[in-house]
Amino acid sequence: MAKAIHTMIRVLEEERSVKFYEDAFGLSSAERLDFESFTLVYLSNAENSFELELTINKGRTEAYDLGDGYGHLAFCVDDLAAEHKRFEDAGYAPRKIVDFAPGGETLARFFFVQDPDGYEIEVMQKAGRYH
């Protein structure tokens, strides 16, 4: 059986991205590997062993083209409304909270926010299959 261990995104500024993921989602650096042309930073928290790998290519100055293939990263939280307000207060400009209820039954409650490099992140209320 395979186990998912991390997902990787390319970011321009290590410090800015690490601060965002620490402030927004409580992720901290589990390991940092520095190489000649790039740096890898693995972020995680006590909630699980899955990690976010930030790749910083040295010398890169232009934003990455995220294209139309990237979807989003998702986090679930205990109190969606409180997190939404916290994100607003931090200046992260979260989009409005959505109650996804096709057919009248709520399947998910969430909002989206972008990280400093423009990656979409879904923040979901812990419920049902999202816990």
Amino acid at 51: E
Q: State CA 82 to chain mean position distance.
A: 17
Which residue numbers are catalytic? 122
Q: Measure the CA–CA gap between 44 and 84, rounded to whole angstroms.
A: 21
Q: What is the token pair recorded at 103?
A: 């057919």
CB 45 within 8 A of CB 27: yes
Number of C-beta neighbours around residue 122 at 10 A: 18
* Amino acid identity for residue 129 in this structure: R
